[in-house]
Amino acid sequence: MDYRLEGKQAFVAAGAYGIGEAVANLLTQEGASVIVADRDEEVLREKASAWTGVVVADLATAGGVNEALSYALKTFGKAPDILINNLGVGDSSSFEDTSDERWAKSIEVNLMGCVRICRGLIPEMAKNGGASVVNTGSDLAKQPEPTLMDYGVCKSGLLYLTKALAKQYAPNVRVNAVLPGPVWTRMWTRPGGIVDQLIGHYGVADRDAAVKRFLEDRYLPLGIGQPEDVAHAIVFLASPLAKFITGSTLDIGGTLRGLV
């Protein structure tokens, strides 16, 4: 599909795996120059040849964000046309067991990383005009769950940030968010990730049984998605094809339980 991105410059935050990687690859296929930032140096170096550039940085810290943005601005020679904020990490636990340290870590990754990147790039993107930002949220921002409360609270904050930035920077920068349901990424599949946590939660024997129970409980008829399913929605919102869309939140993944 032609998203009209030939010659555009894009910065993808947290793009070594999953949704971020799928977005970076699709942007590249569509003719954009893409810089990917992530903290996983080994994986990032292995995949570096797929993109224009990579920068190893911990985007949950102010110093890491500054390092990544400095690299992007120097490499591109200006602010990018497209910014994709894909930071996110979550672990299932009860409210009572979620410590202050866990809340602080979650806020740094799931909210402040995006805040700092937006603050560092959007004012410069606005000077050039015709720019777009897409933030990766979560269906939990609208459909609260008790076991990922810190993650969901941050993703709800991301919705406010998205709409407020869209209002402030229109018409020079469009700012939108996608809200994926469950997607088969490392957040789910890594050892000790959500799937393993569900095994303990449901008291079942294996991953398949845990996922089946989860999908039934949450009424997710489309099942668990793949990163590419989300990537096309993100790239569309980032592209000129979505020039009349800003401040929007796009639900992805058959999360049918609410009206908001």
Other CB atoms within a 10 A radius of the CB of residue 192 amount to: 8
> What mean pLDDT, rounded, does the chain reach?
92
Compute the distance between CA of residue 50 and CA of residue 54 in angstroms, rounded to an integer.
10
pLDDT of residue 28: 98
pLDDT of residue 8: 98
For the chain, give the number of residues.
Answer: 260
Report the distance separating Cα 166 and Cα 164, nearest Å.
Answer: 5
pLDDT tens for each residue of 105-129: 999 999 999 999 999 999 999 999 9
Catalytic residue chosen out of the listed positions 17, 155, 202, 212: 155
Residue 202 a catalytic site member: no
The model's pLDDT over 178-216, given as tens digits with 9 standing for 90+, comes to: 999 888 887 777 888 777 877 887 888 888 888 788 777
pLDDT for 200 equals 80
78, 151, 163, 169: which one is catalytic? 151
| 151 a catalytic residue | yes
Half-sphere exposure of 227 (CA within 13 A, CB side): 18
pLDDT at 259: 47
Share of the chain above pLDDT 90, in %: 71
- Homologous superfamily, domain 9-183+226-252: NAD(P)-binding Rossmann-like Domain (3.40.50.720)
Domain ranges of the chain: 9-183+226-252, 189-224
Encode pLDDT of 7-66 as tens digits: 999 999 999 999 999 999 999 999 999 999 999 999 999 999 999 999 999 999 999 999
